[in-house]
Amino acid sequence: MILEDLVKHLSQKVNNGLPGMEAQQLMMPVESTRERFNLDKKDVRRGGVLILLYQKEGSIFMPLTQRHDYGGTHGGQVSLPGGKFEEIDTDITSTALRETREEIGIAESQINVIGRLTDLYIPPSNFRVTPVIGYIKQKPAFEIDTFEVKELIEVRIDELLDLEKRKRKDITVRQGIKLNAPYFDLGGRVVWGATAMILSEFVTILDT
């Protein structure tokens, strides 16, 4: 797979209608409700995350980050680089790019933005998250902020397309609540919840 070809494919897809909820819910825990798709909800926090594509060793990769287990709602989870909207951001794409620089050291000027995927509401943290897709032409020189990121995980896009990497298990969350959740098994890591739902839409447009 060549990065230039993938960029062309994604550019066409994101500008000609997204699969949205139908694709997202393929990786939604059984116990979740349609509230996740309520994009008219008021008084929410806004956030942006980035799917960052790059070519390395003949394959296309993207970075995920392992969070520190700080005891919060999403502590210890694997996620896309990103975070909450700040007043210094011109828009939510700017948020995703800034947070990527802060977390993994890739400057905004190096990133070419392809477009956005469908927003997703995350009830436990009251965030409406916008996924942004971008790419860099050069091999990335990651600089990890160890306060925000425990570990960076480089994932081959081919792994996302591998059906054997899509699994299901019971996951225990806050207050001992168990969820029956689908997940991506990526590099031996369990990638589930909102991140998996975002990646599910990404995979759907990759595969069409």
Other Cβ atoms less than 10 A from the Cβ of 98: the count is 20
Confidence of residue 70 (pLDDT cuts 50, 70, 90): low
pLDDT reported for residue 30? 84
pLDDT reported for residue 35? 82
Overall pTM > 0.85 = yes
Between 63 and 139, name the one with better pLDDT: 63
The H-assigned helical ranges of the chain are 3-14, 21-24, 92-104, 157-161, 193-206
Residue position matching structure tokens 């989870």: 77
Above 90 in pLDDT, residue 201?
yes
**Alpha-carbon gap, residue 5 to 165, rounded angstroms:** 24
For a pLDDT cut of 90, what percent of the chain falls above it? 76
Q: Where are the domains of the chain?
A: 3-206
What mean pLDDT is predicted for residues 32-58? Answer: 91
CB of 170 closer than 8 Å to CB of 180: yes
**Residue 163 carries which DSSP code?**
G
**Residue 118 carries which DSSP code?**
-
CB of 174 closer than 8 Å to CB of 76: no
pLDDT in tens, 114-169: 999 999 999 888 999 999 999 999 889 999 999 999 999 999 999 999 999 999 99
CB of 97 closer than 8 Å to CB of 111: yes
pLDDT reported for residue 36? 85
Above 70 in pLDDT, residue 74?
no
pLDDT reported for residue 32? 80
CB of 132 closer than 8 Å to CB of 48: yes
Between 28 and 173, name the one with better pLDDT: 28
Confidence of residue 72 (pLDDT cuts 50, 70, 90): low
pLDDT reported for residue 208? 85
What mean pLDDT is predicted for residues 23-36? Answer: 87
pLDDT reported for residue 41? 85
Q: Report the helix count and the strand count for the chain, using DSSP H and E.
A: 5, 11
> Any idea which fold 3-206 has?
Nucleoside Triphosphate Pyrophosphohydrolase (3.90.79)
What mean pLDDT is predicted for residues 21-35? Answer: 88
